[in-house]
C-alpha cells in the first residue's frame, strides 16, 4: 500500500490524514487546535503541525497542505514574520479594499484584473493596511506567503524556494486568475515596496521534497482542497460550514462577477472555483450554545423542539462583520423577541439564520455559473449537527446530500499529494464519497423573514 498524507491547516485547527494512495481510504489521523483570533503568529500553525505529524508523516511517500485562504504572512529578510498574520476574517482592511477597488477603476475593472472584487479578506488589502498603519513593519517585508505556503515551507527540505498554487494565489488580489500569472505590480502598489512572491506550481506537479525526501505537492486553499476531496463536478454545489460558510462549485471557465457577490477563484486542477463566502458560520452555533449554556447536541435538541420560524424570532448573524453581503462593520441583530420567547426559539433562530445566510450563498452561485445547480453537498464541522442536517433541506428549499463526516480538505490535499507522486495528467480516480439524501418540507417563510431583515438593515453600518 502506498500511503500519502493530506493536511488541513484551517482557521480553528490542523488536521492530518494518512491515506491509502490507491483509493483514498483513511488509515490514520490526528488534529490539534490553532489559537483563536483574527491575527495569529504563523509559527503557531507549524508548532501545531509538529504535534500531529509524528507517527503519520514518516509513513507517507508524499504530502500536501490545504490551508485557510487569504491570510497575510509577511516575512522579513531572515524569513521571520514581521508581525502576526492577519487572517481572512480580519476586517480591519475594509477601507483599504475600497481604496484599492477605486485604484483599479471600479469593481468591474477589479474583477477583470484579478478575478474577484476585493473585500477585506483578500491579502492585498492587508498589505495596504500594513503600509498605512504599521509602516515600520511594512518596511521590513521582503516576502509575502499565504498560510498554506508557510506551512508547506516548514515541511520542505532546506533550500527549497517557497511555492504556492494557482488556487490559493487567486485569493490574494495580486494574481490574475484567468491569465495564470502574478501581478507583482499590484502587491507593490498595495505595500509601497516590491516583495518576493512564491513560485506558482502547476496542478499535480511536484513542488519539492520534504526534509526526509518525500514528494511535496503544491498544496492549495482549503476550499480548493475540499473540492478535490469531494471530487466536485460541474453543477454540484459544495456547502461547507466551518468557521466560514462557503458555497462553491467547479467550472472550466473563469467567472468574473463585477457585483462582488461571487469570487472567481482558480481551483487545484486547472479549472475555476466560483465561491460565495460568509464570515459567520459554525461560530454562530458556538456562540448560541455558549449563551444558552448548553453543548452542541443539547442546542440541536432545543432547536428541533421549537417550530419552524422560532415563533417569530429572527437573527441576522453578522456578528463579526460580514462579507456576503459585504458589511465589514456589521454586528448581529435579533428581532421578534417577546415575553413568550423561549430558549428553544433562540436556539432554532440561530440554525435558521446560519442556513438562510448559506441559502443566499447558494443562490448567488446558481446565478453566476451557466450550469444548473444540481446536487447540494454539505460538509464542514457544523455539518455534524443533527439540527443542521434536519433544517438544511427545509431552509434551502431543496434536498441536500451529506457525505460521511470526514476531513474533506485534508482528503483533497492527500489526493493532490497522490497526484504529484503519480506523475499522471489527472488526479487519481478515488471513489467519490457516498452520500445520504436529506429531504424536508420547505419553509419559505423563514427565508422571507430573514431576507426582509437583511434588506431592512442594509444601511445600519
Ligand X SMILES: O=C(CO)[C@@H](O)[C@H](O)COP(=O)(O)O
Is residue 170 within 8 Å of 265, Cβ to Cβ?
A: yes
Q: Does 381 bind ligand ADP (CB under 6 A)?
A: yes
Euclidean distance between CA atoms 361 and 276, whole angstroms:
5
Residues 224-243 that bind ligand ADP (CB under 6 A): 242-243
Residues 76-135 that bind ligand X (CB under 6 A): 88, 121
Region binding ligand ADP by CB under 6 A among candidate stretches 10-18, 43-51, 245-253, 307-315:
10-18
Euclidean distance between CA atoms 349 and 360, whole angstroms:
16
- The answer on whether 178 is annotated among ligand-binding residues is no
Over its C-alpha atoms, the chain yields an Rg (Å, rounded) of 21
Q: Does 277 bind ligand X (CB under 6 A)?
A: yes
- The answer on whether 70 is annotated among ligand-binding residues is yes
Neighbouring CB atoms inside 10 A of 234's CB total 14
Q: Of 162, 167, 242, 433, which lies in the binding site for ligand X, with binding defined by CB under 6 A?
A: 242
Q: Does 246 bind ligand X (CB under 6 A)?
A: yes
Q: Does 172 bind ligand X (CB under 6 A)?
A: no
Nearer to ligand X, 91 or 223 (CB): 223
Distinct helix (H) and strand (E) counts, the chain: 15, 24
Q: Which does residue 220 touch among ligand ADP, ligand X, none (CB within 5 to 8 A, set by kind)? A: none
Residue 201's alpha-carbon distances to 161, 169, 178, in angstroms, are 11, 10, 16
Region binding ligand X by CB under 6 A among candidate stretches 130-138, 218-226, 291-299, 417-425:
218-226
Phi and psi, residue 16, nearest 5°: -125, 130
In the set 165, 222, 231, 236, the catalytic residue is 222
Neighbouring CB atoms inside 10 A of 215's CB total 22
Say how many Å lie between the first and final Cα of the chain, rounded: 56
Query: What is the grid cell recorded at 146?
Result: 499565504
Q: Which does residue 70 touch among ligand X, ligand ADP, none (CB within 5 to 8 A, set by kind)? A: ligand X
Site size toward ligand X (CB under 6 A) is 16
Q: Does 68 bind ligand X (CB under 6 A)?
A: yes
222 assigned to active site: yes
Region binding ligand X by CB under 6 A among candidate stretches 217-225, 227-235, 290-298, 310-318:
217-225
Binding mask 13-52 for ligand X (x = CB under 6 A): ----------------------------------------
- Minimum CB distance to ligand X, residue 206 (Å): 25
- Residue 334's H or E segment, with its range, is strand 333-335
Per-residue DSSP letter, 115: S
Nearer to ligand X, 162 or 171 (CB): 171
DSSP, collapsed to helix, strand or coil, labels residue 327 as: strand
421-427 contact pairs (CB < 8 A, 24+): 421/2, 421/4, 421/21, 421/61, 421/62, 421/215, 422/21, 423/206, 424/204, 425/204, 426/204, 426/269, 427/204, 427/228, 427/269
Residue ranges of the binding site = 69-70
> Looking at the annotation, which residues are catalytic?
222
Residues that bind ligand ADP (CB under 6 A): 10-13, 242-243, 282-283, 285-286, 296, 380-382, 384-385
Residues that bind ligand X (CB under 6 A): 10-11, 68-70, 88, 121, 171, 221-223, 242-244, 246, 277
Amino acid at each position: 500500500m502506498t500511503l500519502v498524507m493530506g493536511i488541513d491547516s484551517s482557521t480553528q485547527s490542523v488536521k492530518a490524514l494518512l491515506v491509502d494512495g490507491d483509493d483514498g481510504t483513511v488509515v490514520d489521523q490526528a488534529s490539534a487546535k490553532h489559537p483563536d483570533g483574527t491575527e495569529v503568529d504563523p509559527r503557531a500553525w507549524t508548532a501545531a503541525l509538529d504535534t500531529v505529524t509524528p507517527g503519520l508523516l514518516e509513513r507517507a511517500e508524499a504530502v500536501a497542505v490545504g490551508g485557510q485562504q487569504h491570510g497575510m504572512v509577511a516575512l522579513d529578510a531572515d524569513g521571520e514574520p514581521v508581525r502576526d498574520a492577519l487572517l481572512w476574517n480580519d476586517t480591519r482592511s475594509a477601507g483599504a479594499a475600497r481604496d484599492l477597488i477605486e485604484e483599479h477603476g471600479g469593481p468591474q475593472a477589479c474583477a477583470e484584473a484579478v478575478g474577484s472584487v476585493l473585500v477585506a479578506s483578500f491579502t492585498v488589502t492587508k498589505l495596504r493596511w500594513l503600509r498605512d498603519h504599521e509602516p515600520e513593519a511594512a518596511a521590513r517585508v521582503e516576502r509575502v506567503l499565504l498560510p498554506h505556503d508557510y506551512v508547506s515551507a516548514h515541511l520542505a527540505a532546506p533550500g527549497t524556494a517557497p511555492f504556492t498554487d494557482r488556487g490559493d494565489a487567486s485569493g490574494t488580489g495580486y494574481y490574475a486568475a484567468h491569465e495564470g500569472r502574478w501581478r507583482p505590480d499590484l502587491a507593490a502598489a498595495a505595500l509601497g515596496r516590491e516583495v518576493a512572491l512564491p513560485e506558482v506550481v502547476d496542478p499535480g506537479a511536484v513542488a519539492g521534497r520534504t526534509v526526509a525526501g518525500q514528494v511535496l505537492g503544491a498544496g492549495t486553499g482549503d476550499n480548493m482542497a475540499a473540492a478535490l476531496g469531494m471530487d466536485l463536478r460541474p453543477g454540484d454545489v459544495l456547502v461547507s460550514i466551518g468557521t466560514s460558510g462557503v458555497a462553491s462549485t467547479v467550472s472550466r471557465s473563469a467567472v468574473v462577477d463585477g457585483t462582488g457577490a461571487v469570487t472567481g477563484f482558480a481551483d487545484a486542477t486547472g479549472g475555476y472555483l466560483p465561491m460565495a463566502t460568509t464570515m459567520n458560520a459554525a461560530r454562530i452555533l458556538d456562540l448560541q450554545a455558549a449563551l444558552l449554556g448548553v453543548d452542541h447536541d443539547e442546542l440541536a435538541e432545543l432547536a428541533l423542539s421549537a417550530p419552524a420560524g422560532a415563533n417569530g424570532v429572527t437573527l441576522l448573524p453578522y456578528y463579526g462583520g460580514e462579507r456576503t453581503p459585504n458589511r465589514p462593520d456589521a454586528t448581529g441583530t435579533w428581532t421578534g423577541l417577546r415575553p413568550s420567547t423561549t430558549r428553544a426559539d433562540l436556539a432554532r433562530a440561530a440554525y435558521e439564520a446560519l442556513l438562510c445566510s448559506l441559502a443566499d450563498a447558494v443562490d448567488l452561485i446558481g446565478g453566476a455559473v451557466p450550469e444548473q445547480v444540481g446536487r447540494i453537498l454539505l460538509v464542514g464541522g457544523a455539518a455534524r449537527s443533527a439540527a443542521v442536517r434536519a433544517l438544511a433541506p427545509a431552509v434551502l428549499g431543496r434536498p441536500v446530500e451529506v457525505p460521511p463526516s470526514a476531513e474533506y480538505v485534508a482528503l483533497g490535499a492527500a489526493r493532490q499529494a497522490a497526484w504529484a507522486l503519480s506523475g499522471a495528467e489527472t488526479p487519481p480516480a478515488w471513489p467519490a464519497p457516498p452520500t445520504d439524501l436529506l429531504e424536508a418540507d420547505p419553509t419559505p417563510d423563514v427565508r422571507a423573514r430573514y431576507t426582509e431583515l437583511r434588506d431592512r438593515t442594509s444601511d445600519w453600518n
